[in-house]
A = this chain, B = another copy of it.
Amino acid sequence: MRQKLLSEGAKELSYEIREIVKKANILQKEGVDITWENIGDPIQKHAQVPEWIKDIIQRLAADNNSYGYCDSKGVFKTRKFLAQKNNQHGGAQITADDILFFNGLGDAISTLYHYLDATSRVIGPSPAYSTHSSAEAAHANHQPLTYKLDPKNNWYPDMQDLRNKVEFNPNVVAILLINPDNPTGMVYPKEILDQIVQLAREFDLMLISDEIYHHITYNGARAYALSEVIGDVPGIAMKGISKEMPWPGARCGWIECYNRDKSLEFDQLCNALDDAKMIEVCSTTLPQMAIPEILGDPRFYEYREKLNEETGWRSTFIADTLSEVPELIINKTYGAFYNTIVFKEGVLRDDQSLEITNPQAKVRVEEWVEDVPLDFRFVYYLLGATGICVVPISSFCSDLLGFRVTLLEEDEELLKKTFTQIRDSIREYLDS
């Protein structure tokens, strides 16, 4: 090539959650039977989209209009529906013009960070979800900035850490929340949200709230929407249908911009996002057309309630089962469909192992565990010995050691078997 092609920022792109999949695929070829506990896709974990929802989609698929472009900001009727839905909370009020559709939140996230000035940083939670942390790092050509979620305190944010990192780093212009949180399953209590809003107000920041799991709460919790707590602070909520309907394959998400009238600069940023989408013409039409019909149907909330209840049951079963290992820090979860299990300090060593019966798998795992963080070591041994695939937590921009599991397995017997096996394997590993 005539000169260098790649931008420096491209080096920051990584999504380690998917790296473990490559390893699992290798072992699968060697004959290991894999249990995919790494995947946040309900569909792959046997969730069934309800028939009445499929009926709506099929009906729309017969309508010629579903095939055309829509308004570059998104289908007007849908945006109006969503604005009303938000406004019912009585918090920050919006109109259809304050909503912008994207091809899933990944698109929204990339675009938002891309058009921020390189010197303007967004601080987000650690453990971090890579879609946010990689895109933000790529925009700044620098490692991600994170505040700590504390596993010893229900995974609530370490507010002092957050305040310090905001106060002492003048490049921070926004605080990111994921609420309910991936990968911890934590749901932000209102008091903490109020403190974060206050912090943003004090330092003239905007707020970004990823609310993709908003309707997925259980065990008595409910998630507060950003608009309910934000007051007069500028902010963006990110929402979508991937997890709740669930329809991740639709790539259909949107942002809601609150308090555009409170800051000219914030308003200009929102306009730039509109412009950026306009040069791509628009986002997916058909799923947008389905939203008012589905989210406006009372069956949707009954359906979600039932699913949430089941997720809650699984969450409790998993937490109870793994709590039998005293070397672990276990938190019950209240939202989303992950749990993050942390090993207490000092319990992992670089000479622990599990017995792997498949000889080829044994060779592979023993190669992989050279020079990796201690949680990767455990995860590789677990994979080789049992075929259970979980994600090491140190790949989420965290200095904790542990792993993420999902709460998605709909087959109760399989769930019980898997987590019993995880528990027993941890015991064996720690005692080895």
Contact = CB atoms under 8 A, between A and B. Distances in A.
Given A1-B234, A6-B265, 11 more contacts: A2-B170, A2-B205, A4-B120, A43-B69, A67-B248, A67-B249, A106-B279, A107-B107, A110-B111, A145-B170, A251-B283
A66 interface: yes
Contacts of A250: 67, 284-286
A173 B248 contact: no
A243 to B, nearest CB: 11
A172 B165 CA distance: 13
Nearest to A272: B10
A116 to B, nearest CB: 6
A283 to B, nearest CB: 6
A173 B118 contact: no
A119 B103 contact: no
Contact of A276 (B4, B67, B110, B286): B110
Nearest to A108: B280
Interface in A62-112: 62, 64-70, 72, 103-104, 106-107, 109-111
Given A250-B67, A272-B13, A279 B54 contact: no
A268 interface: yes
A167 B169 CA distance: 10
A268 B106 contact: no
Interface residues of A, number: 94
Nearest to A118: B7
Most buried by B among A8, A42, A245, A279: A279
A407 interface: no
- Sorted nearest first, the 6 A-B pairs with minimum C-beta distance are A106-B280, A249-B285, A43-B68, A103-B103, A13-B275, A168-B168
A323 interface: no
A49 B64 contact: yes
Contacts of A41: 68-69
Contacts of A169: 165, 168-169, 171
Copies in the assembly, this chain:
4
12 contacts: A1-B206, A3-B119, A4-B265, A5-B116, A5-B120, A5-B206, A6-B265, A10-B276, A18-B72, A103-B251, A110-B279, A169-B171
B115 A2 contact: no
Contact of A173 (B2, B115, B165): B2
A86 B183 CA distance: 41
Contacts of A67: 43, 49, 245-250
A249 B69 contact: yes
Contacts of A398: none
Interface of A: 1-10, 13-15, 18, 41-44, 48-49, 54, 57-58, 61-62, 64-70, 72, 103-104, 106-107, 109-111, 114-120, 130-131, 134-135, 140-143, 145, 164-165, 167-173, 203-206, 234, 245-251, 263, 265-266, 268-269, 272, 275-276, 278-286
A104 B277 CA distance: 12
Contacts of A4: 117, 119-120, 265
Contacts of A206: 1, 5
Contacts of A15: 275, 278-279
A49 B3 CA distance: 45
Contacts of A114: 7, 114
